[in-house]
Amino acid sequence: MSFNLPLKAMSLQEKLAAMESLWEDLARTPEAIESPAWHKDILDERRQRLAEGQSRFIDWETAKADIRNKLS
């Protein structure tokens, strides 16, 4: 199936609304979306780094503050 949106003619708000509609539709049946194998590879690597003490968790507010500080 081919589907074309007039992206160059769409405003940012229209593009975001289209993305939101797509996301909401996809989220209705998450079991229909298969994760690619490389997702598992990355998760396995991250679990290993946690087990070895090379990574740690931080809370979301701290993570957002760190990102803001790096960008400013």
For residue 64, what pLDDT is reported? 97
Q: What distances in angstroms separate CA 4 from CA 1, 10, 22, 65, one per listed residue?
A: 10, 12, 14, 39
For residue 49, what pLDDT is reported? 97
| Ordered mean pLDDT values, 10 residues apiece, the chain (72 residues) | 91 97 95 94 97 96 97 94
For residue 1, what pLDDT is reported? 81
The full 3-state SS of the chain, as one line of letters, equals: CCCCCCHHHCCHHHHHHHHHHHHHHHHCCHHHCCCCHHHHHHHHHHHHHHHCCCCCCCCHHHHHHHHHHHHC
For residue 2, what pLDDT is reported? 86
